[in-house]
Amino acid sequence: MNIEELRKIVQKRREAIKENMKNIKHKIAVMSGKGGVGKTTVAINLAVSLAKRKKRNDGYSVALLDADIDCPNVNKFLGIEEPFQIRNDKIIPVKKYDIDVVSFASLQEREDQPIIWRGPMLSKAIMQLLEQVEWGELDYLVIDLPPGTSDASLTIMQEIVPDGIIIVTTPQSAAVVDAKKSANMAKELKIPVLGIIENMSGEIFGSGGGEKAAEELGINFLGKIELDKEIARCAEKKKPVVLESFELAEKFKKIVNTIEEVLK
């Protein structure tokens, strides 16, 4: 196969993905420079918060894509154990807490089964998911990206072209530096950065690092999520904390308000 033939195959697949996702109004990617900063927790609660918003008499229609192929955690956090359903060669998302969930974990036989793939295989798997999922009509698709600026994140940014990126960081300097890398990656790819969320803020990890980074980068500071035992308690129950804590639900509501205004 020569380069021209390969280019045609890639272009055909990109067109198929675009056609398959044409009824999604807004696509938001949640990103972090490093692991362990609570990115997946933020993505899940953001998706559930959007689904709770009032649009006429119903909430928004929302899907959550777990794009972290080698370490997918969304299903575990939401207590999803059932596999995908396949209908007419299309993958049907799993419904949980009023959101459609798509995670590579639904294809694994065991949750501790390692995915030992090189970058091209990861990218191919992501493109196949984007093409084969029955997305339907959605107001929002929230994408939980893998940490860092590797092939998987690049594939999502190039193939989906999100309407915006949300950066999650903790207050410590190492996490903030990596968060800046993620923001600068998005800027280089000409994808708007909707803002930064400072997670795990408080006495233990400090406070203000995310806000300072937002100021230096000239982007929105979306707010602080304090390190709260309620989050850990809900994680054990496999339930989004915005459904249990009024205070944290209000914080995410304010973040959603800002996102809606920016996307307008």
116 membership: H or E segment, kind and range:
none
Asked if 47 and 138 touch (Cβ cutoff 8 Å), the reply is no
Give 4 or 261, the one with higher predicted confidence: 261
User: Is the pLDDT at 157 greater than 90, yes or no?
Assistant: no
In this prediction, residue 9 carries a pLDDT of 76
Q: Read off the tokens for 169.
A: 């960081």
Q: How many CA atoms lie within 13 A of 130 on its CB side?
A: 31
pLDDT of residue 152: 78
What pLDDT is stored for residue 121 in this prediction? 78
pLDDT value of position 147: 85
Q: Where are the domains of the chain?
A: 3-263
Top-tier CATH class for 3-263: alpha beta
**Is the Cβ–Cβ distance between 181 and 33 less than 8 Å?**
yes
* Rounded distance between C-alpha atoms, residue 195 and residue 211, angstroms: 10
Q: What does each C-alpha distance from 222 to 78, 137, 144, 185 come to in angstroms?
A: 24, 27, 17, 19
Strands 193-201 and 94-96: unpaired
- Residue 115: its pLDDT value, please? 66
Using a pLDDT cut of 90, give the percent of the chain over it: 46
Distance between CA 47 and CA 143 in Å, rounded?
9
Q: Check: CB of residue 173 under 8 Å from CB of residue 209.
A: yes
- Residue 128: CB atoms within 10 Å: 13
C-alpha to C-alpha distance for 157 and 165, rounded to whole angstroms:
9
